[in-house]
Amino acid sequence: MRFMGTYRPKLDDKGRLFLPAKFRDRLAEGVVVTQGQESCLVVWPPEVFDREADRASERPMTSRAARSYARMFFSGGEEVTPDKQGRIGVPAALREYAGLEKDVVVIGVRDRLEIWNPTAWDDYQAAEVQKFSELDDDEDDEG
């Protein structure tokens, strides 16, 4: 399952989000919405969420970083099933975490979707575009 592209849907008055039409069939059985890094939300297909959860569980709980990641990853999670129109309800706590109001940005990131506040996404993208254009694997071969 591959997700790509950038979409700019709106949340309705009840905090529901229309999933991009091209992904609705693939996500019709349900998704897991969690807090992401950089203050976005992550929409996981269940099987991808399970793989990520397994990876988190493999890290030793004696590691402070592992405990912290697991707490943030699972405590903000919510299982959601899209309605017949392809909308998912985004819980208020998650909307607040990501600073979501009416306008949002949904991006495809290979095996998941991310939901961003438009200003946060535009700022992130502006900061990263130069780094992206300068990536060069050949630098490791020099010397």
Which of 12-21, 70-79, 132-141 shows the highest mean pLDDT? 12-21
Residue type, 129: V
Each domain of the chain, given as residue ranges in start order, spans 6-135
In this prediction the pTM is: 0.89
What digits encode the pLDDT tens for the residues 85-128?
Answer: 999 999 999 999 999 999 999 999 999 999 999 999 999 999 99
Does pLDDT of 143 surpass 80? no
Instruction: Give 127 or 141, the one with higher predicted confidence.
Output: 127
Please state the CATH superfamily assignment of the domain spanning residues 6-135 in this structure: Transcriptional regulator MraZ domain (3.40.1550.20)
Residue 77: which of 87, 88, 91 has the closest Cα?
91
pLDDT for residue 79: 97
Band of pLDDT at residue 31, cut at 50, 70 and 90: very high
| Token pair listed for 76 | 């903000």
Residue 8: which of 113, 112, 117, 104 has the closest Cα?
104
The sign of the CA dihedral 92, 93, 99, 100 is negative
pLDDT for residue 142: 53
Contact (CB, 8 A) for 29 and 81? yes
Query: Residues of the chain with pLDDT > 90: what percent?
Result: 81
Q: Is 99 helix (H, G, I), strand (E, B) or coil?
A: coil
